[in-house]
Structure 1
Amino acid sequence: MTRNILKMALASTALVATTAYADDVTLTIESWRNDDLALWQEQIIPAFEAANPGIKVKFTPSAPAEYNAILNSKLEAGSAGDLITCRPFDASLALYDAGHLSDLSDMDAMGNFSDVAKSAWQTDDGSASFCVPMASVIHGFIYNKDAFAELGLEAPTTEAEFFAALEAFKADGNYIPMAMGTNDQWEAATMGYNNIGPNYWKGEEGRRALIAGEQKLTDEQWVAPYATLAKWADYLGDGYEAQTYPDSQNLFTLGRAAVYPAGSWEVSGFNNLADFEMGAFKPPVMNAGDTCYISDHTDIGIGMNAASPNAEAARTFLAWVGSTEFATIFANALPGFYPLSNAPVEIEDPLAKEFVSWRGECESTIRSTYQILSRGTPNLENDTWGASVAAIKGTETPEALGAKLQEGLASWYAPQQ
């Protein structure tokens, strides 16, 4: 099916090619996604080149852990590629502030993205956008449909239904109700606190109010998710304190757990490992009919090296990245990584499709700690990891955790002082 999508993209985009170059221009893309090399070489680049005669593209990734250092060295030496794959928030903002990334605010394609989508690659005041958003990941819960059917359960939509389902699995005894450990800490915050939390602090409304200093981490909407996480401990199975992230993945894909707090990045891997039917449900709301909020977290973008000698061709490529054709190819080649453009994209994978359908039902936000609030010491993101673990283990009260986080943030962040 993906081949058919590629053929359609080649056919449709070829019709709109308008720029021909007297001599071929070759654009080089810097990226950390070395596992995506075949996708770019076999699908994305052929589609673009068919639509844009005279522009050739090379995808030249580095190892993920080495990308930042290698890219910075190349930029300083003047040897970096024309196009720069952008990590979200501060790493890319630092490149823009250093003059390495061009302002793309005047590109028509930027109008294809929401403010939330663009927020990961903008200046703090939103006056400049320096990377075209490519994809996000969505948080929620993946569940074993076979296990739910055995107990006659439906996917929960409210918190009461959520805990009733977990209680039913605990009483039945054939499945661990929910697979998540606290050994690696980040899961408790990423798939715990920042998964369920947006329903409490109302997504962007609360996140922006926290940045502005209009809300505090001691407010009820920021403390209450820790109280909810504290209830999870009863359903995580024996020994969850020592359980690692790969342990949790294995427990779920081997069919030993009923529910998995998740990010959509798991879709491809779980499809290859699980031999049962999977479904996904969004973070439960407090009461039926409440507005729902999802963490639709900006993950990857692409910008232009300000020193590129091929600026016109580079902007042509970036405009295409903002198109429906690109979004369709990317979304179906990497299910679980979702295009950020406003254009509708037909996604084939049923589990990936379930996650992305929530965009039409809920308000999107991003992880609360990722923009601005984790620049200082102590680091709010890292502290949220520890707080989420402490909440689950019950070693500190939700109120004490909120007070400690607020004290840390206020110690360096002026709007919270």
Structure 2
Amino acid sequence: MKYTAILLAATALGGFAANVQAADATVTIESWRQDDIQVWQQKIIPAFEAKHPGIKVVFAPTAQTEYNASLNAKLDAGSAGDIITCRPFDASLELFKKKQLADLTELKGMENFTPVAKAAWSTDDGKQTFCVPMASVIHGFIYNKDAFDKLGISIPKTEDEFFAALDKIKADGTYMPMAMGTKEMWEAATMGYQNIGPNYWKGEDGRAALISGKQKLTDADWVKPYEELAKWKPYLGDGFEAQTYSDSQNLFTLGRAAIYPAGSWEIALFNSQAQFKMGAFPPPVPKAGDQGYISDHPDIGVGLNIKSAHAAEAKTFLEWVASPEFAEIYANALPGFFSLNSNPVKMSDPLAQEFVSWRGPYKSTVRSTYQILSRGTPNLENETWVESANVINGTDTPAVAGEKLQKGLDSWYKPGAAK
């Protein structure tokens, strides 16, 4: 009888343990942000798990250059994680169309985002949303305050003032005027063309006109930014054609360059490496009195793998990501990645606060190539990388760059026929 009682007790305890274990669901996050892993492990995940016992979260990033191919392969094989970190616009829309991302239109917390904030992860008609918006990045210029103070340079507000500042820096000879290379090409487009371009094509108005076919890449509004970009060449330093992205970062953080054409995503790294005071300014307007525009680009969201084995737990996590609590943790843990949540977030980093302060006086837009216009071959985004680098290198004129880009777009894109 004693043996039977012990056996029954052991069985009961084993069953209890099994039930406890069964209650703990592990939710895995697929992401390309390897540099964020400590933030997720030390701040974001502990904050979630503290309020949601029984749900464990694992952050499992892949190298950025391998993420798209790796994720697509995993989704096709049915082996992808529960939470999918979403690229903006077309890449994630394609996953939704393939029924690999779930419809999150009615997810609790989605009311915290405006239609504009959700646009990068919604269908073209805006009726369905498939990822929770997390953050955007803002383009502009980061500068060495010590260098500016030493040379008596004020923050340039117009193009003329911008080139006058560059001339002054170059004439002094202490600093490279601007740190940017063209070897990897994407910087020339992302921190060059897409940075200054919205001031010419008037942000969302121009982007919508290009999509509708009312404007072409050969029009003045789209060629003039290239004319401006071509003027950067004398200020980029010797050998900029062979200069990588990390080379440019190092040149700036080591204090050798006065200005860095930037995205706000650089803030955390620069704060940790630069030994001098930094500031930031928005892209200078063509002439005094012009309305200014900034690229305030939705960068990252999270969606639900439609084949997730832990869909309920994953949705709980996504609802939390849509909350003001997550917005505040994320924006302050990763300065330069700005919350898309409608609830205001107070940020402690002064450089991040400088970038986000432009949202008031400047009109926000997104990168012109990301929605609809890069769904075919040749891909307009990738072609813009090539032509932006060519223009700065001097191997293509601005007019030729516009002609090449428009010819490639015309070969597959018919305005009004986007699906």
Instruction: Tell me if both proteins adopt one fold, taking TM over 0.5 as the criterion.
Output: yes
2:301: which partner in 1? 301
Which deviates the most, 188-197 or 349-358?
Answer: 349-358
Q: Secondary structure of the residue that 1:378 maps to in structure 2?
A: coil
Cα distance change on mapping 1:319 and 1:361 into 2, 3 Å: farther
Q: Deviations over 1:278-330 (max 9, x none)?
A: 11101111233322211112221101122335434332321211122111111
> Is 1:341 matched up with 2:306?
no
Counterpart amino acid of residue 368 in structure 1: S
2:353: which partner in 1? 353
Following superposition, which runs of at least 4 residues in structure 1 exceed 6 angstroms of deviation?
none
CA distance in 1, matches of 2:28, 2:151: 54
> Is 1:409 matched up with 2:409?
yes
1:161: which partner in 2? 161
Cα distance change on mapping 1:403 and 1:73 into 2, 3 Å: closer
CA contact (8 A) 2:86 2:131 kept: yes
* Post-superposition offset of 1:23: 4.0
* Post-superposition offset of 1:221: 0.7
- When normalised by structure 2's length, the TM-score is 0.88
CA distance in 1, matches of 2:232, 2:116: 30
CA contact (8 A) 1:409 1:416 kept: no
2:146: which partner in 1? 146
CA distance in 1, matches of 2:163, 2:34: 40
2:36: which partner in 1? 36
2:262: which partner in 1? 262
Q: How does 1:41-56 map to 2 (within 5 A)?
A: 41-56=41-56
Counterpart amino acid of residue 222 in structure 1: W
Which deviates the most, 72-81 or 341-350?
Answer: 72-81
Counterpart amino acid of residue 104 in structure 1: L
CA contact (8 A) 1:137 1:264 kept: yes
CA distance in 2, matches of 1:229, 1:66: 30
Counterpart amino acid of residue 303 in structure 2: G
Q: Deviations over 1:145-181 (max 9, x none)?
A: 0111012111111112111111111222222211222
CA distance in 1, matches of 2:26, 2:243: 48
Cα distance change on mapping 1:168 and 1:61 into 2, 3 Å: closer
Aligned residues: 396
1:12: which partner in 2? none
Cα distance change on mapping 1:137 and 1:31 into 2, 3 Å: same
1:18: which partner in 2? none
CA contact (8 A) 1:116 1:365 kept: no
2:132: which partner in 1? 132
CA contact (8 A) 2:90 2:374 kept: no
Q: Secondary structure of the residue that 1:414 maps to in structure 2?
A: coil
Unaligned runs of 5+ in 1: 1-21
CA distance in 2, matches of 1:166, 1:205: 30
* Post-superposition offset of 1:77: 4.1
Q: Secondary structure of the residue that 1:415 maps to in structure 2?
A: coil
* Post-superposition offset of 1:51: 3.0
CA contact (8 A) 1:116 1:366 kept: no
Counterpart amino acid of residue 202 in structure 1: K
Cα distance change on mapping 1:145 and 1:111 into 2, 3 Å: same
Counterpart amino acid of residue 81 in structure 2: G
Cα distance change on mapping 1:407 and 1:142 into 2, 3 Å: same
- When normalised by structure 1's length, the TM-score is 0.88
Q: Secondary structure of the residue that 1:346 maps to in structure 2?
A: coil
Cα distance change on mapping 1:255 and 1:399 into 2, 3 Å: same
Which deviates the most, 232-241 or 319-328?
Answer: 232-241
1:75: which partner in 2? 75
Q: How does 1:188-207 map to 2 (within 5 A)?
A: 188-207=188-207
> Is 1:384 matched up with 2:409?
no
CA contact (8 A) 1:145 1:279 kept: yes
CA distance in 2, matches of 1:356, 1:121: 22
CA contact (8 A) 1:141 1:260 kept: yes
Q: Secondary structure of the residue that 1:360 maps to in structure 2?
A: coil
1:279: which partner in 2? 279
CA distance in 1, matches of 2:127, 2:181: 41
Q: Secondary structure of the residue that 1:218 maps to in structure 2?
A: coil
Counterpart amino acid of residue 353 in structure 2: K
Q: Secondary structure of the residue that 2:105 maps to in structure 1?
A: coil
Cα distance change on mapping 1:70 and 1:398 into 2, 3 Å: closer
CA distance in 2, matches of 1:334, 1:350: 13
* Post-superposition offset of 1:25: 4.3
Q: Deviations over 1:36-62 (max 9, x none)?
A: 333222211222233334443333334
